């Protein structure tokens, strides 16, 4: 629940609560060398902001790496 939704009044807390249910714990549970792929721009920013500055890749970046 990112993008414009989380920017609307009263939605930030809902968005954050949704992310804390599955997304953030899953990302925090990965090893440092595991790839985290998130195609959404705002999802990647939220992962960086709330998961210890963890970098996530866009799907296209992962495909380039796979060569």
Contacts of the segment 42-49: beta carbons below 8 A, 24+ positions apart: 42/2, 42/3, 42/6, 43/2, 46/2, 46/19, 47/23
pTM of the model: 0.81
Taking the domains of the chain in order of start, what are their residue ranges? Answer: 5-66
What is the pLDDT, as a whole number, of residue 11? 81
Mean pLDDT of 51-56: 95
pLDDT band at 60 (very low <50, low <70, confident <90, very high): very high
pLDDT tens across 6-49, in order?
Answer: 667 778 888 888 889 999 999 999 999 999 999 988 889 899 99
Q: End-to-end alpha-carbon separation of the chain, Å?
A: 31
């Amino acid at each position: 629940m990112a993008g414009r939704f989380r920017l609307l009044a009263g939605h930030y807390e809902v968005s954050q609560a949704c992310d804390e249910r599955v997304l953030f714990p899953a990302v925090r549970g990965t090893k440092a060398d595991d790839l985290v792929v998130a195609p959404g721009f705002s999802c990647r920013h939220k992962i960086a902001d709330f998961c210890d500055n963890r970098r996530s890749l866009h799907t296209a970046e992962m495909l380039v790496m796979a060569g």
